[in-house]
A and B are shown apart, each in its own frame.
Chain A
Amino acid sequence: MIRCEEIMAWVRELDLVYQSNKASLTELDAAIGDADHGINMVRGFSAAAKELSEQTPPDIGAILKALAMILMKKVGGASGPLYGTFFLKASMTCNGRTSIGAEDLVVLFEAGVAGIRQRGKAKEGDKTMIDAWEPAVRAMREAFSGGGDVSEILRAAVSAGESGRDATISLAARKGRASYLGERSRGHQDPGATSAVLMLKAARDTLA
């Protein structure tokens, strides 16, 4: 069972995780983008951890919605609207709920990823965060269908997300700023897919 406390622990963990990966995410972005991804993620999640701890909304839907609005305001770049949309769509699956179970968690992630897909219009293979998200949510659904609990579902998500993230290294980008490089983007790991996997790992470490 996941309660508001676990969701808040996830938010705090995201703040810490992006802080400790700020330089590496920014370096990945410098190679094929514009060298701001780590900086932007830290700005967004630090603000979120601070604001939400000062005034924690009453239910999971409200926490995720508040998180979404903070990210849209603070992150900027493409990742602001994309992660903002992820949490906004996710929040709609658990309005008014103070606890959710394994299937709710799968539905929450599926809705969030559907939001990213719709807003960013990227497909798998375009070398974007979608390359981590799509296999991760498929693995979550499979793990749940196979009788997995929250912990097993999130471990499956991390593992599939990591494979998807690693596969971006050999891809040529077709969406986002890296697409301007075309073939020259091959050989570099996508920063968005990398920050997506960090988000899944933080979920695994706090929600299960």
Chain B
Amino acid sequence: MKKLMNDPGDLVVESLRGMEAAHGDILRVSYEPAYIVRADAPVRGKVGVLSGGGSGHEPMHGGYVGPGMLGAACPGAIFTSPTPDQIEEATRALDGGAGVIYLVKNYTGDVLNFESAAELCVSAGIPVETVIIDDDVAVQDSSFTAGRRGVGATVLIEKIVGAAAERGMGLAEVTGLARTLNEEARSMGVALSSCTVPEAGKPTFDLGADEIELGIGIHGEPGRERRTIRPARELVEYMSEAIFSDLPFHRGDSIIVLLNGMGGTPLIELYLLYGELERVARTRGLHIRRRLVGNYITSLEMQGFSMTALRSDDRILGLWDDPVHTASIRWGS
């Protein structure tokens, strides 16, 4: 294993130090317990938007802390959910009197830890609502599993819900919006290579030189099936079919898409993939109204990509266009 770090056990904290040094105008970092909060928190009278999860998915979530997106983010150890004490402290630092919404990706550990934190905060008098994000179509949703995983839709939902909170919407309205967005979003990913958890020291799984894992999760969890690599065009078609037929999306729908790199895929390939996605969407009569192309929810140095589509009306597009100023997403003023 070769990684740019000092001691594997210090990676998360040392990265947070760098982040604070680079973006001190936007965010503050607490180290014990670890959380990132927007520099102007708490914002009086506005709902706080809080997310968190294991580290190793950067820029998610710390890169999205700032005006117009997240109020706070709680980073866990690599691929490990944050703990209730972190979330509780971050909630206290963030709450401006209008309550806090937790945006939680659907993984057993994340759900249990956020649940414990919400109990602590509610009993301390801070209103908290939780919305679970579960957009990954690669995983069967049934009573026999922990349900679908939360992946790329998280980025889009954090942006739009953050805009709603910034506009001054109340906790109930923001929560309803977040639930609607989750219902309207679908994603799927593919891996060309594994990633290596620094403290584990070796790749999480092995893929043959010409093999890919379709339906990969953001922690290297296996997905639907393993296949021999195909041309990008065919991969995008396969994943589009899985995503667009799942909601399903209909001819004429407006969508926001995220064409996301898993951390180890160059932009030249991501743009090629986006071009293919545009073509597929056009043949299906879907209108891509907004898009993000780049590394937004990653899996350490994994090679691969994911696609997310979110059905959007004018209200959602308006919130999307609202100003945002974070380390990794900024537009408007």
- Among all A-B residue pairs, the 10 with the closest Cβ atoms: A179-B145, A77-B109, A34-B219, A76-B80, A78-B109, A81-B112, A78-B108, A179-B146, A35-B204, A174-B144
Assess the A39–B146 pair: CB atoms within 8 A. no
Which one of B112, B197, B221 lies within 8 Å of A181 (CB-CB)? B221
Residue positions of A touching B, CB distance < 8 A: 26, 30, 33-36, 39-40, 43, 72-82, 119-120, 173-177, 179-182, 184
Closest chain-A Cβ to B202's Cβ sits at a distance in Å of 8
Alpha-carbon gap, A30 to B217, bound state (A): 13
- Distance in angstroms between the alpha carbons of A33 and B107 in the assembled complex: 11
Given contacts A79-B109, A177-B109, 10 further A-B contacts (CB under 8 A): A33-B221, A39-B199, A72-B84, A72-B116, A73-B33, A73-B85, A76-B81, A81-B113, A120-B112, A175-B146
A36 touches B77 (CB 8 A): yes
Across the interface, which residues of B come within 8 angstroms of A181, CB to CB?
221-222
CB of A176 to closest CB in B, whole Å: 5
| A176/B116 in contact, CB under 8 A | no
Are the CB atoms of A72 and B200 closer together than 8 Å? Answer: no
Kindly list chain A residues whose C-beta atoms are within 8 Å of the C-beta of B162: none
Query: Among A76, A119, A176, A179, which residue has its beta carbon within 8 angstroms of that of B144?
Result: A179
Give B residues with C-beta under 8 Å from A.
33, 54, 76-85, 107-109, 112-113, 115-116, 139-140, 144-146, 149, 197, 199-200, 204-205, 217, 219-223
Q: Tell me, in angstroms, the Cα distance from A72 to B85 when the chains sit together.
A: 8
- Determine if A182 and B140 form an interchain contact, defined as CB atoms under 8 angstroms apart: yes
Q: Which residues from chain B contact A182 at a C-beta distance below 8 Å?
A: 140, 144-145
Set of chain A residues within 8 Å of B82, measured between Cβ atoms? 76
Chain B positions within 8 Å of A75 at CB level: 83
Interface majority SS on A: helix, strand, loop or mixed?
A: helix
> Would B144 and A77 count as touching, CB distance under 8 A?
no
A sample of 9 cross-chain residue pairs with beta-carbon separation below 8 angstroms, ordered by A number, consists of A35-B219, A36-B78, A36-B199, A36-B200, A76-B80, A78-B108, A175-B146, A177-B108, A179-B146
Which one, B113, B140, B220, contacts A76 given CB within 8 A?
A: B113
CB nearest to A30 among chain B residues = B204
Cross-chain contact B221 with A177 (CB below 8 angstroms)? yes
Q: In the complex, A190→B6 CA distance in Å?
A: 32
Residues of chain B with a CB closer than 8 A to A40's CB: 77, 80
Once the chains bind, are A72 and B83 in contact (CB under 8 Å)?
yes
Shortest distance from the beta carbon of A123 to any chain B beta carbon, whole Å: 11
Whether the Cβ atoms of B205 and A78 lie closer than 8 Å is no
When chains A and B are docked, how far (Å) is the Cα of A173 from the Cα of B145? 7
Verify A43–B112 contact, CB threshold 8 A. Answer: no
Contact of A177 among B77, B113, B146, B204 (CB under 8 A): B146
- In the assembled complex, the Cα of A119 lies from the Cα of B200 at a distance in Å of 28
For residue B115, give the distance in angstroms from its CB to the closest CB of chain A: 8
Instruction: For B223, list chain A residues within 8 Å (CB).
Output: 180
Determine which of B84, B112, B140, B197 lies in contact with A35 in the assembled complex, contact meaning CB atoms within 8 Å. Answer: B197
The residues of A that contact B149 with a CB separation of less than 8 Å are 180
B85 CB, nearest partner CB in chain A, Å: 5
| A80→B108 contact, CB < 8 A | no
Chain A residue with minimal CB distance to B225?
A184
If A30-B200, A36-B197 touch, whether A184 touches B222 (CB-CB below 8 Å) is: yes
